Amino acid sequence: MSSKQQFDKTVNHKQPDRLVVDFGSTSVTGIHVLSIQNLRKYYGLKDKPVRVTDPYQMLGEVDKELIEIMGIDAVSAKGPKNSFGFYNHEPLKEYLTPWGQNVLVPVDFNTTKDENGDVLMHPEGDISVGPSGRMPVSSYFFDAIIRQQPINEEELDPKDNLEEYGFVSESNLEYWKTTTEKARATGKAVVAGLGGTALGDIAHVPGIKLKKPKGIRDITEWYMSILMRPDYIRAIFERQTEIAVENYARLHEVIGDNIDAVFICGTDFGTQDSTFCAPEQFDDLWLPYYRKVNDWIHANTNWKTFKHSCGAVEPFMSRFIEAGFDIINPVQINATGMDPVHLKKTYGKDLVFWGGGIDTQVTLPYATPEKVRSEVLRLCDIFAKDGGFVYNTVHNIQANVPVDNIIAIVDAIKEFNGES
């Protein structure tokens, strides 16, 4: 059976012939460029600059060679622009990272440095305007720079927080048609982030793609607004959802069944130990809009809907189901209440667990390869029964993870599948 056929069985909660694997199909299931380089060296592949696919997190391209070696079943249909608002595809140029790695980046990947040596990224790659992202000297990815304008309560307008959301253009429709056709031709499952449905995703709130963001752009202020200005938040989500559903209708006309899953939202509702808000707040501010998007997709397409939320979100699992999500990621098994056995037993018939294959905070970076292997096998044994599990780690594989530990994951998956 092909990767897509195995994927179809898996996401429809039927037992596949083998475990379905993803490394790199989304911005939350990827691998840092440095770890990609280390993997290529380990496998004896040609020494070449790794392409940066996500400049914000400095994730790297998992190319055809690694897809084959690692047994990957899902690929990405990537949007035209990245988080910083510039075109994310060819032509490319070489760029030397602060840690000394030569990588390939889009031509508008333009950076400056501040007096401390931190690398600064500018919206739309325009260095004539102030930076919106900062990579500290000792870091391996960018952080958002908060550029909150003074708030006048009487003049707050939800339209200001909707500046980056608009109707899809004819050129972008053609782009998505071509891009998804190419992805479908790989024979893999295809995942796409079509955009517009990031309801309060903190990665998007600061507006790092905007040259002069207006509205509520400070992360702390945004979280306070959930309590202090719920009508303002609700007005944003209402209009954002209206635009998104209309865009999905237009996109579906050209994409059709060229994609299998759509990344809906990356809003995090959990910390390590608890939730960011009460379940009742979720019911009030998010659930109606999530349901509207999911209901449209399920009524009009064959796409599965993908929800990302880090942290201790077990209390929200039933609500994710009620909202109509098919897939939950990253399944942070080391957070409070996120016991794999409990999650699978309680929610496994309704939710596909996309992730949860190894803890990336402690086990993957610091344990021995043998410990990594045993944990992967244990978690696969729990999650893979009766389908409903796409293998991935708990969020992205970061820089400086021992390459032997990444190899231990790949080998353990093959062992689980009876391929070694």
CATH number of the CATH domain containing 307: 3.20.20.210
Does residue 290 form part of some domain?
Answer: yes
377-414 pLDDT, tens digit each: 999 999 999 999 999 999 999 999 999 999 999 999 99
268-310 pLDDT, tens digit each: 999 999 998 999 999 999 999 999 999 999 999 999 999 999 9
91 preceded by cis ω (within 30°)? Answer: yes
330 preceded by cis ω (within 30°)? Answer: yes
What proportion of the chain, given as a percentage, has pLDDT over 90?
99
- Quote the pLDDT of residue 224: 95
Which of 24-28, 97-101, 133-137, 274-278 has the least mean pLDDT?
A: 274-278
- Segment 74-84 shows an average pLDDT of 98
Q: Which neighbouring-strand residues pair with 263?
A: 306
- Which residues make Cβ contacts (< 8 Å) with residue 336, sequence separation at least 6? 272, 273, 274, 312, 314
- How far apart CA 27 and CA 339 sit, in angstroms, is 24
Does residue 113 form part of some domain?
Answer: no
Contact 104, 50 (CB under 8 A): yes
Owning domain of residue 303: 3-31+61-82+149-416
What proportion of the chain, given as a percentage, has pLDDT over 70?
100
- How far apart CA 391 and CA 52 sit, in angstroms, is 23
- Edge-first strand order for the sheet with 59-60 is 59-60, 50-54, 102-106, 92-96
* pLDDT band at residue 166 using 50, 70 and 90 as cut-offs: very high
- Quote the pLDDT of residue 420: 74
Token digits of residue 120: 């600064």
Mean pLDDT, the chain, whole residue set? 97
Does residue 130 form part of some domain?
Answer: no
Does residue 90 form part of some domain?
Answer: no
Predicted confidence (pLDDT) at residue 320 exceeds the cutoff of 80: yes
58-76 pLDDT, tens digit each: 999 999 999 999 999 999 9
Token digits of residue 150: 């003074």
Q: Which neighbouring-strand residues pair with 50?
A: 103
Does residue 116 form part of some domain?
Answer: no
Q: Which neighbouring-strand residues pair with 338?
A: none
Contact 358, 379 (CB under 8 A): yes
- Quote the pLDDT of residue 252: 98
- Quote the pLDDT of residue 1: 87
Predicted confidence (pLDDT) at residue 123 exceeds the cutoff of 80: yes
- Segment 36-60 shows an average pLDDT of 98
- Segment 341-362 shows an average pLDDT of 98
- Quote the pLDDT of residue 146: 97
- Segment 344-353 shows an average pLDDT of 98
- pTM of the predicted structure, to 2 decimals: 0.97
Domain count, the chain: 1
Picking from 296, 287, 294, 288, the residue whose alpha carbon sits closest to that of residue 250 is 296
Does residue 99 form part of some domain?
Answer: no
Contact 50, 61 (CB under 8 A): yes
Does residue 240 form part of some domain?
Answer: yes
Does residue 154 form part of some domain?
Answer: yes
Contact 142, 33 (CB under 8 A): no
- Segment 214-235 shows an average pLDDT of 96
